[in-house]
A and B are shown apart, each in its own frame.
Chain A
Amino acid sequence: MNDAIFDIKAVEYSYEDAVALAGVSFKVDPGESVALLGANGSGKSTLLMMLDGLVFPSRGSVSAFGEPLTEAALLDEGFSQAFRRRVGFVFQNSDAQLFSPNVLEEIAFGPLHLGLPPAEIDRRVNDTIHILGLDHLRERPPFHLSGGEKKKVALASVLAINPDVLLFDEPTAGLDPKTEAFLLQLIKEINRAGKTIITATQDLRIVPFLARRAVVLGEDHRVAGDGDALTVLADQDLLMAANLVHHHPHMHAGIEHLHPHSHVEGHDHHQG
């Protein structure tokens, strides 16, 4: 019996002549928190879109909740609705995700389109607005919010669906430190509540806060590493090969020098 939430088998995908995924395989189990790590253009966002049934592999297969996740399957209204209720996607570009006339309607969009009863919609919208502290923004048009507010509304719009799986694409990109901390804490709590979290990011700094497992996509668009998040983060050779770490300038005792940018442990200045 296959209990995995997602079973990705040798998927390939290309944008015209640019390869995005070249034979990626892995599984995600219920309740896991997984970080998808990779440099720009490694295929992380494409993979998330694939897990959300928005693009489909040219080769290989994706199964969700034990069922094949194909274009034909999602044309079935029953399957489509059940899948959309179970998987939520917080896009990197909040502007693309916020398209309704105001915050209230934005948050209600998912529950409305998934056919929830009116009383339940009201309850979910009010609760998510309260959890994310958006009360004062209820009637505001989303495109006039700050970057942090937009991200919170985008998250609220997905949380209101109450999905079992949440996909995040670069959730902390461009956020101020306070909003970032708030968001990381919230994602952690959502995971503790039993939800499966899959986060695509290249910000290694946030990985220990939101994932116990890390899957590294290499620049060859294949899985370069998969394992415990802290172990992966400590593997400098793997991260260097995936172009996720670099040498960065550093000032110490009045002397500028370069050393590898590590995200897990400190470095010994006396050996730099």
Chain B
Amino acid sequence: MPKPLSTAPAWMRGTGPATCACCRIGRTRKRSAVERTIQNLTRALKNSVFSEQVAARPGLLQKADPRAKTAGLLGLLLATAVIRQPLILLGMYAVTLAGAAASRLSLGFFIKRVWLFIPIFAGIIVAPSIFNVVKAGDPLVTIWNFGHEVHLGPWSLGDSVAITKQGLEGAAILILRVAVSVSLAVLLALTTRWSDLLKALRVFYVPRVFILTLSMTYRYIFLLLSLASDMFTARRSRMVGPSNPREDRHFAAASMGTLLGKSHSLSNEIYAAMVSRGYNGEPVALRRFRARTADWAVFAAAVVIALVAWGADRALG
């Protein structure tokens, strides 16, 4: 006995009005926070693939044993932290650039990657210290002359606001130190596969639970990024006209909640999949590290550079 097959309500039947050039009204909208988020998520995914490709290139540091690289980096970082001469720090920075070039990294990309964040993280922190109102010193450029001594409550601001020689030197040293340290870290991260890097950390007795957390985070992040990207894309596909900031905030909060729930269930599933294939909490990398003479040469070179830089810094006073 045939039965009615469709229970679709009347409003759902048929098709909507046609789309044609006459629909255009000549008004375009700005890209919303949602669209910018999608772009950023997509960029993050592309970057991850790019980083893996860079780590697979046949460059000097890519070939080096991760343990030698990490130990060398540690030496250079220690030296960077104690050096007080800007010129020597500049020399150290040049060494990182040479390392990047020898590892077939694009220098433009490498420099941009490092310097993009330094004004944010180091610049803002160090900015007040260049003025005489924060740290006394010999005025280099006077910005404001009050003509008389100004007091702010119990504090004296002096009779002018000026950039000091000592302040600038201090700021330059700090910024250079941060730049060299970040460059070294970026160099290591870009030329070493994540799994190898984690394995190398184990050699330095980094706690197993820390490595486990890092590796799980790394494994999650891309799945969650694409999930977030899908959610934002799905929302955009249903959006007509601009969304208001309140709606955007509401959507962002709801997305975060969804991602948290998804990440929780995914974490259980990923862990089960890992355990199923023999994982017992000790990350094992496929690449079996074999430290050759060349690897020890990389380590020795890093140690020599660190010692020479430190010695030169002491000699220059």
Contact = CB atoms under 8 A, between A and B. Distances in A.
A54 B288 contact: no
A100 B272 CA distance: 14
Given A108-B286, A141-B49, A256-B2, A161 B193 contact: no
Interface residues of B, number: 31
A130 interface: no
A59 B293 CA distance: 59
A113 B277 contact: yes
A78 B222 CA distance: 34
Nearest to A102: B52
Contacts, number: 91
Interface string A238-261: 000000000001000001111000
A157 B278 CA distance: 12
A203 B77 CA distance: 58
A144 B48 CA distance: 11
B273 A99 contact: yes
A99 B278 contact: no
Nearest to A139: B56
A209 to B, nearest CB: 25
Given A99-B270, A143-B222, A258 B278 contact: no
A157 B277 CA distance: 8
Nearest to B221: A143
A49 B286 CA distance: 27
B276 interface: yes
A80 B273 CA distance: 14
A96 B276 contact: no
A197 interface: no
B256 interface: no
B242 to A, nearest CB: 33
**A-B pairs with lowest CB-CB distance, top 3:** A113-B278, A110-B277, A96-B269
15 contacts: A49-B272, A54-B272, A80-B280, A89-B276, A91-B276, A97-B273, A99-B270, A102-B52, A105-B286, A108-B286, A109-B274, A112-B284, A141-B48, A144-B49, A257-B3
